[in-house]
Structure 1
Amino acid sequence: MRQLLSSLSYFSIFFAPFIFPVIVWIASRDSYVAMHSKRALISHIVPFAAAVPLFVLTFGADNPGSVFGYVILFVIIYFGTFIYNIVKGIQVLREYA
């Protein structure tokens, strides 16, 4: 059950990116599950936290090439954390298998 809740916290990027890890983190009495749900929550927040400065820099840019560069950087950050969540979810599931 520990692995299932922990991996679902990572896999929640598909269905409830912020809500599910927060609920598991608050409701869990197990430190292992709480640790993974906290990590999953942070990895769900990272792309949106990176979007704020990129959004501000995009409006301050005079060159369309730099705007395109900021968008590409955001896409790389977003898909990187997306893949990270999938890989960590699978690793947690296979940990005790």
Structure 2
Amino acid sequence: MRQLLSALSYFSIFFAPFLFPIIIWIVAKDNYIEGHAKRALFSHIFPFLAAIPLLYFFVTAHSLGSAVGFVILFFVIYALSFVYNIVKGIQVLREYA
């Protein structure tokens, strides 16, 4: 059950990226589950935190090429975060298998 809840915290990027890890983090009494829920929550929030400076640079960009570059950079960061969550979810499920 511990691995399932921990893995679902990472896999929640598909269905409830912010809500599910917060609920698990608050409700769980197990340090193992809480730790994974916190890491999953941060990995869901990180791309949007990274988007704040990218948004600033996007607005102040002086050319279309640099603006497109910032948008591509955001999507690369988001895709890496997405892949990280899937990999971590699988790793958690395989820990005790």
Task: Classify the TM-score, shorter chain.
Answer: over 0.9
- TM-score normalised over the length of structure 1: 0.98
Question: Runs of at least 4 residues of structure 1 off by over 6 A?
Answer: none
Aligned to 2:60: 60
Q: CA deviation digits over 1:41-97, x for unaligned, max 9? A: 000000111111111110101111110110111011000000000000000000000
SS in 1 for 2:66: helix
CA-based RMSD of the aligned residues comes to 0.5
Structure 1: runs of 5 or more not aligned: none
- TM-score normalised over the length of structure 2: 0.98
Q: Percent identity?
A: 65
Structure 2: runs of 5 or more not aligned: none
SS in 1 for 2:93: helix
Q: What is the aligned residue count? A: 97
Aligned to 2:78: 78
